[in-house]
Chains A and B, each alone.
Chain A
Amino acid sequence: DAGVTQSPTHLIKTRGQQVTLRCSPKSGHDTVSWYQQALGQGPQFIFQYYEEEERQRGNFPDRFSGHQFPNYSSELNVNALLLGDSALYLCASSLQGADYGYTFGSGTRLTVV
C-alpha cells in the first residue's frame, strides 16, 4: 500500500521539550499538509509544503515549523511544547493545486505531560 505513512504513531514528551514528526506522502503526490486534531475537534490546518517551501500557513505560532525534502517527505517540528499541544497530528498528501485525492495518514498521537 503506497498510502501516507507517519511516524511515530505515539509519542510522549515533557513540557518544554521539542518534537519532530515525520510523514511520507502517497506515491505520486508532491504536496504535504499538516493538521492538528485536538480531542473531540475537527482537524486544524497548520501548514502546507510544496517544492520544499511553506506555501500556506494556518493560525499557529512560530513554535510550529516544518520542512519538506526533495523526495517530498516532510517533517513537523514543535518547540517549547505546551500541554495544549497534546493532539493527533495528521499529515495529508496531494498533488499541488488539486483537491481530489487528498489522502490522510493515520497520524501521530502526541501527549505532552
Chain B
Amino acid sequence: GENVEQHPSTLSVQEGDSAVIKCTYSDSASNYFPWYKQELGKRPQLIIDIRSNVGEKKDQRIAVTLNKTAKHFSLHITETQPEDSAVYFCAASRAGNQFYFGTGTSLTVIP
C-alpha cells in the first residue's frame, strides 16, 4: 500500500516568514494530493490540493508543488500569520480510494 512520510514534525516561524512542509509518497499510482489544516479539537479542513497532472498550484498565501518523478510534494505558506498556527497533514490517494495521511506538522507562528 501507499506510505506517506511528512517532515518536519514541528515547525516554528516568526510572523511574516515563510513555512515549508514536505511529504513523500511511495505509490506511483497516487494521483491526488490534498493538504489539511487541523486546529485543536476541530475537524481537518482542506486548504489546498493538487492532482498529478499539475506541478504547482497557488491560492493566495498558500502554494503546493508536486514532483512526480521524485514522488514528493510540498506545502508553502508565505507571510505567515498567528492564525496559521495549527497541525497540517498531507495525504495521497487514487481517485475514489482511501486517503493515506502523513503524521502531521505542528506549525507555530510566533507574533
Contacts and interface: CB of A to CB of B under 8 A. Distances in A.
B101 A99 contact: no
Interface string A38-65: 0011111100100000001010000000
Interface stretch (A11-19, A20-28, A73-81, A90-98): A90-98
A56 B99 contact: no
A98 B96 contact: yes
Contact of B49 (A48, A92, A100, A105): A100
A105 B43 contact: yes
Interface residues of B, number: 24
| Range, interface on chain A | 20 to 34
B98 A102 contact: no
A42 B103 contact: yes
Contact of A97 (B43, B95, B98): B95
B44 A43 contact: yes
B46 A44 contact: no
Interface string B58-71: 00000000000000
Interface in B82-96: 89, 91, 93, 95-96
B100 A107 contact: no
B43 A43 contact: no
Interface string B34-52: 1010000011111001000
Given A43-B101, A97-B96, A106-B42, 4 more contacts: A33-B99, A42-B101, A48-B98, A97-B95
Interface of A: 33, 35, 40-45, 48, 56, 58, 90, 92, 94, 96-100, 102-107
24 contacts: A41-B104, A42-B6, A42-B89, A42-B102, A43-B44, A43-B99, A44-B101, A45-B98, A45-B100, A58-B98, A90-B44, A94-B96, A96-B96, A97-B95, A97-B96, A98-B95, A99-B49, A99-B95, A99-B96, A100-B49, A102-B34, A102-B99, A104-B45, A106-B42
